[in-house]
Amino acid sequence: EVQLVESGGGLVQAGGSLRLSCAASGITVGDYTIGWFRQAPGKEREGVSCIRDTDGTRFYADSVKGRFTISSDNAKNTVYLEMNSLKAEDTAVYYCAAVFRYYGSSWYEKLIYSYWGQGTQVTVSS
């Protein structure tokens, strides 16, 4: 059984930082494309970032470029999202998702992902 478990969310002031973790079981993250998504109240779930260790590719949404960094630790089978200079508009539930070796450019499309975590809440106070 595949499980993705997010953690690390919380309440932080604007300008602060958080590091989210996505711990995987049942898959090897190094073989998968792992995406981070977020969903704010009343809004669609949107792609934030994606990592593909098979070719070293990283993608970021324009809204988080320069502030967020995605990384992986294959020994821990975990993907991280380091979030700096947080803004109120970053407030959302953050989800990680996995798809086996996706090499297309539409990493931000929810429908391509096979597995999802339960999400972790990030709240940024202004």
User: Which positions ≥6 away from 112 have C-beta within 8 Å?
Assistant: 99, 102, 104, 106
User: Which positions ≥6 away from 23 have C-beta within 8 Å?
Assistant: 4, 5, 7, 76, 77, 78
> Token pair for residue 107?
């990493």
pLDDT by 10s per residue, the chain, length 126: 999 999 999 999 999 999 999 999 999 999 999 999 999 999 999 999 999 988 889 999 999 999 999 999 999 999 999 999 999 999 999 999 999 989 988 999 999 999 999 999 999 998
In Å, what is the CA distance from 61 to each residue of 35, 48, 103?
A: 11, 5, 17
DSSP of 37-92: EEE-TTS--EEEEEEETTTTEEEE-TTTTTTEEEEEETTTTEEEEEE-S--GGG-E
Tell me what pLDDT residue 56 has.
Answer: 84
Tell me what pLDDT residue 55 has.
Answer: 84
91: phi then psi, degrees, rounded to nearest 5: -60, 125
Tell me what pLDDT residue 85 has.
Answer: 98
Query: What is the DSSP-derived secondary structure letter of residue 118?
Result: -
Tell me what pLDDT residue 52 has.
Answer: 93
